[in-house]
Structure 1
Amino acid sequence: MVKHNFMNIKDGTKAVWAGEEASLAFNATQVPVVLSVAYNYDDMDEWQDVALGLKPGHIYNRMTNPTVEAFEEKVRILEGAEAAVGFSSGMAAISSALYTFLRSGDRVVSVKDTYGGTNKIFTEFLPHIDVNVTLCTTGNHEEIEAEVAKGCKVLYLESPTNPTLKITDIERMVKAGKAVGALVIIDNTFATPINQNPIQFGVDIVIHSATKFLSGHADAMGGVVCGPKELMEKVYHYREINGATMDPWSAYLILRGMKTLKLRVRQQEKSAMEIARYLKNQKHVEEVFYPGLETHRNHHIAKKQMKGFGGIVSFVLKEEMEAIKILLPKLQYANRAGNLGAVETIYGPARTTSHVECTLEERKELGIPEGLVRISVGIEDTEDLIADLEQAFAHLESQLSFEL
């Protein structure tokens, strides 16, 4: 088979071809699902060399697997990283990256409205091991810079954020982090490698919940951490011992999903932009969050560091949960579920999706309104999604008018 050179190849081609050559077998055109837990060696010296990493190969699936390696390599190439490590879930990837590099007495600086599970690590779990955590107002770059300047081991970012789609100037934050020798980590799940490559801006470690856009089909769970080989060796060792290994069947499904990643993202963000514009004109909508809108607070930053604005839109209903309970069940072409990035459109309030772990008071503290609804826009025809919203809002209007 001809060896591929991905140096000057576009992302759509990388998504289809990258990372698969080494794992193909029997002249097959697709990466096989290797389910064997262990690998046989007749030569004891070779076995030990593989076990010690002196030779390529596999010995036990908690450590490495051919299918998982193909997934890792595809993400590595798309993100422009030196190495990547797959995990059993997005939260396994996030928590493992943090616990790999943080020790008692270290300090972390991050933003307030990260994903709810990440926020719980910052507010509940890291303090238990005496890691000092400072959470800044998302989008307030001066505040973040001031806190970073006091010194920190890790600067953790998420841009766009989940679910309020706030944008952080990555290049500016990297400069602040590097000035104090901090490790800069970012969750790039919402942007995907198609729209944003943080390593180009100097970020050390990039994380994805592969369950979301990378998979795209809501049928496989996984996570991945990308970065310099030296750092990824440490992340790999943590995973090897702590055991949050990616399942090979999940790796296969995500690999298959990633082949259409660019096509899906482009359709999703096309519809997302039109839906965001539609929602801005609805009288029951108080606010719309989408970085592609020129009215978005940091639209200019998003435009500078992103190639596209993604497939997530959030909006706030004036009547809060009363309106949510009427509007969402009326939608025909939507799942009401705690997931995102799938080919089907998904709606959900923050209290049952991104921040289900948080109390009402905690969500208010994080700036997440009770009337917020997150839309993960699917690949359906844009006109049908708008028409679906129109009939749902007409129903909402009739119900609220009736109650009055």
Structure 2
Amino acid sequence: MAHQLETKLIHAGEPQPRIEGAVTVPIFQSAMFETAGGTGYHDLRYIRLNNTPNHRALHEKLAALENAEDAVVMASGMAAITTTLLTVLSAGDHLLAQDCLYGGTHDFLTQDLRGFGITFDFLEGDDPNDWQRQVRPETKAIYVESMTNPTLQVTDLAAVASFAKSHGLVSIIDNTFASPVNYRPSEWGYDLSLHSCTKYLNGHSDIVAGAVIGRADLIQNVTHKLNHLGGSLDPHACFLLYRGMKTLAVRVKYQNESAMTLGKFFDAHPAVSKVNYPGLPTHPAYQRSCELFDGFGGMLSIELEGGVEAATRFMQKATLPLIAPSLGGVETLMTRPAATSHAGMLPEDRQKVGVTDSLIRVSVGIEATEDLVADFDQALAS
């Protein structure tokens, strides 16, 4: 019987029979396990090889959520990004990447990738002709985000997957902002989906973790590379992620609704000059977002009349949101990406992709929406 995502979150990947009858998978705080007839190095039961019972339960659950073949967890979202890129690319290869990306990804491409003999080009996300112009015989992969961080752009994701297939490229998508509740890349033809599990999947701002979900052969290759690079996830962090994921659907659905209400509030407020939220009809990719996503997510970004000074004053006057990096937790967070997640980018590069110094990114939590609206209203009045 095929189950809905909400049911998979609770039951997929659970050991059968339950371990000693435990309803919850216990924490296996053991660095190594007795060898049981493995055929090679990667079959050894060892924490660094990400194959303890805690890891395996997560792998099955994550794959089930996106209707993919396999999955692997690791130490952070950046571990997922870098390990995946170093798996599918080697010296002499070329990567096509969306021009607006998470700052850590952008920095890895611009500051580290060439040291491995790998080249790349940034793409205009809405111009397939640009993709065609920049693809080369040595191009091996294309990399995009489901909703870009922090400007919430939504490229033609279906066209990207189709383009990758027609050119024999590995299609890679960072699906952190959307989460499997709102978007499942494998259903749209993507080879690999990446997550910072620190964010929505865990949802409680208390661990750092990453995941790669997708084609079984590629996941095996990523796992083998991970085993050599050593970015393993600790069993206790595995347990916290496993626990946090079970409430993913109820959290994200509420955050979808709350962010929509806040997006409309900001859009109508005279002190706000711009709102980036794909669920608003004013968003340039609104129609596309309706076709792609089951919900529009809990992330939005805004610009205020008055620039950096107004943005700083607004953030200080708001009482409920915390001013902190990261996102996707139960508490509402605000940050200026130019000073946090995208601080490593050159100012001209930030401006080029719309990350201005005054842009405020809001990660909507699960507080009462009415309380958030009231708090933001009084902060804007200041």
The normalised TM-score by structure 2 is: 0.96
> Could you tell me whether the CA contact under 8 Å between 1:50 and 1:59 is conserved in 2?
no
> Which residue pairs with 1:143 in the alignment?
130
> Which residue pairs with 1:400 in the alignment?
none
User: Of the candidates 274, 287, 302, which is equivalent to residue 300 of structure 1?
Assistant: 287
Q: Give CA deviations for 1:270-326 in whole Å, capped at 9, x if unaligned.
A: 010111111112222111000000111111111111111000011112322201221
> Which residue pairs with 1:81 in the alignment?
68
- In structure 2, C-alpha distance between the alignment counterparts of 1:52 and 1:138, rounded to whole Å: 38
**Structure 1 residue 258 and structure 2 residue 245: aligned?**
yes
Q: CA deviation at 1:22?
A: 4.8
Given the superposition, is the C-alpha separation of residues 213 and 22 from structure 1 closer, same or farther in structure 2, using an over 3 Å criterion? Answer: same
> Which residue pairs with 1:158 in the alignment?
145
**Structure 1 residue 325 and structure 2 residue 312: aligned?**
yes
> Could you tell me whether the CA contact under 8 Å between 1:62 and 1:243 is conserved in 2?
yes
Q: Secondary structure at the match of 1:175?
A: helix
- In structure 2, C-alpha distance between the alignment counterparts of 1:17 and 1:389, rounded to whole Å: 39
Q: CA deviation at 1:174?
A: 1.3
Q: Secondary structure at the match of 1:156?
A: strand
- In structure 2, C-alpha distance between the alignment counterparts of 1:150 and 1:38, rounded to whole Å: 44
**Structure 1 residue 272 and structure 2 residue 259: aligned?**
yes
- In structure 1, C-alpha distance between the alignment counterparts of 2:212 and 2:17, rounded to whole Å: 20
**Structure 1 runs not aligned, ≥5 long:** 1-6, 396-404
**Structure 1 residue 10 and structure 2 residue 4: aligned?**
yes
- In structure 2, C-alpha distance between the alignment counterparts of 1:251 and 1:148, rounded to whole Å: 39
Given the superposition, is the C-alpha separation of residues 24 and 146 from structure 1 closer, same or farther in structure 2, using an over 3 Å criterion? Answer: farther
> Which residue pairs with 1:93 in the alignment?
80
Q: Give CA deviations for 1:48-76 in whole Å, capped at 9, x if unaligned.
A: 448564xxxx6211012111211121111
Moved more, 32-41 or 132-141: 132-141
> Could you tell me whether the CA contact under 8 Å between 1:145 and 1:173 is conserved in 2?
no
> Could you tell me whether the CA contact under 8 Å between 2:303 and 2:311 is conserved in 1?
no
Amino acid at match of 1:65: T
Given the superposition, is the C-alpha separation of residues 299 and 149 from structure 1 closer, same or farther in structure 2, using an over 3 Å criterion? Answer: farther
> Which residue pairs with 1:38 in the alignment?
32
Given the superposition, is the C-alpha separation of residues 279 and 65 from structure 1 closer, same or farther in structure 2, using an over 3 Å criterion? Answer: same
> Which residue pairs with 1:4 in the alignment?
none
> Which residue pairs with 1:285 in the alignment?
272
- In structure 2, C-alpha distance between the alignment counterparts of 1:22 and 1:240, rounded to whole Å: 27
Amino acid at match of 1:241: H
- In structure 2, C-alpha distance between the alignment counterparts of 1:153 and 1:227, rounded to whole Å: 17
Q: CA deviation at 1:371?
A: 1.3
Amino acid at match of 1:28: A
Q: Secondary structure at the match of 1:393?
A: helix
Q: Secondary structure at the match of 2:19?
A: coil
- In structure 1, C-alpha distance between the alignment counterparts of 2:16 and 2:357, rounded to whole Å: 49
> Could you tell me whether the CA contact under 8 Å between 1:108 and 1:133 is conserved in 2?
yes
**Structure 1 residue 25 and structure 2 residue 11: aligned?**
no
Amino acid at match of 2:73: G
Amino acid at match of 1:331: A
Amino acid at match of 1:70: A
Q: CA deviation at 1:149?
A: 6.9
**Structure 2 runs not aligned, ≥5 long:** none
> Could you tell me whether the CA contact under 8 Å between 2:203 and 2:244 is conserved in 1?
yes
> Which residue pairs with 1:219 in the alignment?
206
Moved more, 270-279 or 351-360: 351-360
**Structure 1 residue 190 and structure 2 residue 177: aligned?**
yes
RMSD over aligned Cα, in angstroms? 1.6
User: Of the candidates 45, 48, 58, which is equivalent to residue 59 of structure 1?
Assistant: 45
Amino acid at match of 1:225: V
Q: Give CA deviations for 1:322-344 in whole Å, capped at 9, x if unaligned.
A: 01221111111111100100000
- In structure 2, C-alpha distance between the alignment counterparts of 1:318 and 1:357, rounded to whole Å: 26
Q: CA deviation at 1:47?
A: 4.4
> Which residue pairs with 1:123 in the alignment?
110
Taking the TM superposition and a 5 Å limit, the aligned residue runs for 1:384-399 are 384-395=371-382
> Could you tell me whether the CA contact under 8 Å between 2:175 and 2:183 is conserved in 1?
yes
Moved more, 333-342 or 139-148: 139-148
Amino acid at match of 1:357: G
Q: CA deviation at 1:34?
A: 0.8
Amino acid at match of 1:229: A
- In structure 2, C-alpha distance between the alignment counterparts of 1:220 and 1:388, rounded to whole Å: 28
- In structure 2, C-alpha distance between the alignment counterparts of 1:129 and 1:369, rounded to whole Å: 31
Identity of aligned residues (%): 37
- In structure 2, C-alpha distance between the alignment counterparts of 1:27 and 1:205, rounded to whole Å: 35
User: Of the candidates 236, 240, 245, which is equivalent to residue 232 of structure 2?
Assistant: 245
Q: CA deviation at 1:141?
A: 3.5
> Which residue pairs with 2:360 in the alignment?
373
- In structure 2, C-alpha distance between the alignment counterparts of 1:83 and 1:48, rounded to whole Å: 20
> Which residue pairs with 1:402 in the alignment?
none
- In structure 1, C-alpha distance between the alignment counterparts of 2:280 and 2:128, rounded to whole Å: 21
Q: CA deviation at 1:36?
A: 0.4
- In structure 1, C-alpha distance between the alignment counterparts of 2:324 and 2:112, rounded to whole Å: 27
Structure 1 or 2, whichever has the larger Rg, is 1
* Structure 1 stretches of at least 4 aligned residues deviating more than 4 Å after TM superposition: 47-52
Amino acid at match of 2:198: T
